[in-house]
A and B are shown apart, each in its own frame.
Chain A
């Protein structure tokens, strides 16, 4: 109940902030925020099924991977900086540059912490212990959501990040996090926690679902790199080469294959 209230409050605050925003706020970011909060809410509810690993894992995929991905794409810090009164926004910008925040949003810290949390949850008795203690279960769910958000945010860097890591480091961190996730899923398949149902299906779901969301995250990461100014500008300035004739798409950075438009 508290979780639901928290998520609803976040949705209301976000929508209210889009009205106060000093420039028009893209609708797709608002849609991402609401979808992300909905995914997190559904995940929170499903993760409570501790005895059924498949349902529990579906919950964690929504709560710790898909929800955070959508919430990162909603760029909440950018919205806050644009919607808050200028003095408060400046204070927030200063707070975002302090060392603790910088470490928490460094992919070399946030991604290992996210993976380590999962290993602790399933590698120790924590998963079984949380089944009978609602407060502990809520704490674990909150950790999954927050650390999943920080890891995704650190890799994608949608919100302003001082001293952002290069695309290679961020893609490498994402791959390493995916590897830790895959290994844990296989290990859960081989040695599931005692007394859970649907353990093999749950481990397979963790593996396959993790693959899909990681692929999506990598696609977003590289798409953002492809259209980023630092890469587009030298590409546009490249002189035409004699063999450029077979590469018709040289000038336009965002060229896409023409799709047949059906009227109606």
Chain B
């Protein structure tokens, strides 16, 4: 396959995977380990929530490794468009955050953002931040399309 066909897709895929993976790592490190807002498993959620959480964890850690390997390859080919990659990163991070905030926290109720407080502002901030990331990422990706 020629570079012209491989690289544009690989650049986007790399950004999306890295963004989703990095956001998963931030979630794990900041909210679980440092703040202790989230719990490993809060015993209130059902089997679906348990499965969703485990799958998400495995997917994010696989995604970040794959995304960085693809990034290394795109850079080596000399076709690296930095802004476009960052756009894809924001899009991937926002998509992860949105899934975590809407599906994990609200629909499946795996765990909540924080315990023992009024959840509404936390959920609004979580999902709002996700929406901002998705919009910023989409705008950046679209604007750099023709470079």
Taking Cβ atoms with an 8 Å cutoff, the residues of A that contact B are 171, 174-176, 178-187, 189-190, 204, 207, 211, 214-215, 218-219, 222-223, 225-226, 231, 234-235, 238-241, 243-244, 246-247, 249-250, 253, 255
Contacts and interface: CB of A to CB of B under 8 A. Distances in A.
B57 to A, nearest CB: 5
A23 to B, nearest CB: 29
Interface residues on B, range: 20 to 34
A178 B58 contact: yes
B78 to A, nearest CB: 4
B145 interface: no
Given A182-B54, A247-B80, A249-B76, A211 B41 contact: no
A171 B61 CA distance: 11
Contacts of B3: 234, 238-239
Interface of B: 1-3, 6, 40-41, 43, 50-51, 53-55, 57-59, 61-62, 65-66, 68-69, 72-73, 75-82
B78 A214 contact: no
Given A219-B65, A238-B79, A183 B55 contact: yes
B6 A234 contact: yes
A199 to B, nearest CB: 13
A197 to B, nearest CB: 19
8 contacts: A181-B58, A189-B40, A219-B65, A225-B69, A226-B69, A234-B77, A238-B78, A250-B75
Closest 7 CB pairs of A and B: A183-B54, A222-B69, A182-B54, A179-B58, A175-B62, A178-B58, A244-B78
Given A183-B51, A214-B61, A226-B69, A250 B40 contact: no
B76 A174 contact: no
Contact of B41 (A186, A226, A250, A255): A186
B55 A179 contact: yes
Contacts of A176: 58
Given A174-B62, A238-B78, A241-B79, 8 more contacts: A176-B58, A179-B59, A182-B55, A184-B54, A189-B40, A238-B79, A247-B78, A249-B76
Nearest to B82: A246
B16 to A, nearest CB: 14
Given A178-B58, A211-B61, A171 B66 contact: yes
Given A189-B41, A234-B3, A214 B79 contact: no
B53 A222 contact: no
A209 to B, nearest CB: 13
B50 A183 contact: yes
Given A190-B50, A238-B3, A215 B72 contact: no
A239 B77 CA distance: 8
A201 to B, nearest CB: 12
B55 A186 contact: no
A207 B68 CA distance: 23
Contacts of A238: 3, 77-79
A173 B76 CA distance: 27
Which of A183, A219, A231, A249 has most B Cβ within 10 Å?
A183
Contacts of B50: 183, 186-187, 190
A183 B54 CA distance: 5
B58 A214 contact: yes
Which of B3, B58, B68, B80 has most A Cβ within 10 Å?
B58
A215 B54 CA distance: 15
B62 A171 contact: yes
Contacts of A189: 40-41
Contacts of B41: 186, 189-190
